[in-house]
Amino acid sequence: MSCPVYHGAPELNPGLLPIDWLLGAWESDEPGEGSFPSIEPFRYTETLHFSHVGQPIIIFMFNAFEAESKMPLHQECGFIRMQPGTNRVAFIIAQNSGLMEIEEGELTGKQLSLKTDSLARISFAKTPKVKQISREFQLRSDGRLEQTVSMETDNQPLKQHLHVIYRRPS
């Protein structure tokens, strides 16, 4: 048994027009940089895919790989919703690390600013436990997409964790 897939070319739901600039595929332009006090700094590449099926929801999948070895590092998937008639945005995210979260925030022009509203984790998720994530996406004037992610754990205050710039694949 497989998950059903919509094979048509659905019309974009008008509620998504303010964030339609996210839609499509993106890949890191140069390796992104990751750091946090409890880990060694690292470089990574990442692909992003944002799609829709005509509902007022964007579906996304993020895949990160170690820059040199290309070994898989991290995956996130989920949904993006906008509160109708507002600039309020929510990301509903499941991570392969066993963390599930809802990030909420606002859209200002071509910038999304989000922070954790709620978190859940599997009982055997690795420690230290993540307590908060904040994330910013910005569509730059050169057409590239920039993402910065900050993280707080139960033993570290909120600090920048990831920074990467994406471009549309050629």
Token pair listed for 90 = 């929510």
Residue 8 confidence (pLDDT) = 66
Prior bond of 128 cis (ω within 30°):
yes
Q: How does pLDDT run across 68-107, given as a tens digit for each residue? A: 999 999 999 999 999 999 999 999 999 999 999 999 999 9
Q: In the beta sheet, which residues pair with residue 115?
A: 104, 134
Mean pLDDT (whole number) for 140-153: 98
Contact assessment for residue 28 and residue 41, using Cβ atoms and an 8 Å cutoff: no
pLDDT at 64 over 80: yes
The verdict on domain 14-167 having CATH code 3.40.50.720 is no
The pLDDT assigned to 100 comes to 97
What is the tens place of the pLDDT at every residue in 18-48?
A: 999 999 999 999 999 999 998 999 999 999 9
pLDDT value at position 4? 55
Q: Please give the single-letter amino acid code of residue 49.
A: H
Indicate whether 148 pLDDT > 70. Answer: yes
pLDDT at 2 over 90: no
112-134 pLDDT per residue, tens: 999 999 999 999 998 899 999 99
Query: Residue 1 pLDDT more than 60?
Result: no
Asked if the model's pLDDT at residue 6 lies above 60, the reply is no
pLDDT at 122: 96
Q: How far is the C-alpha of 135 from the C-alpha of 116, rounded, in Å?
A: 9
DSSP letter assigned to residue 83 = -
Take residue 143 and report the two structure tokens written for it. 């057409």
9: confidence class by pLDDT, cuts 50, 70, 90? confident
- Long-range Cβ pairs for the range 143-151 (8 Å, 24+): 143/167, 143/168, 144/29, 145/22, 145/26, 145/48, 147/32, 151/36
pLDDT, residue 46, reads 98
Q: Where are the domains of the chain?
A: 14-167
Q: What is the pLDDT of residue 5?
A: 56
The per-residue pLDDT for 67 is: 97
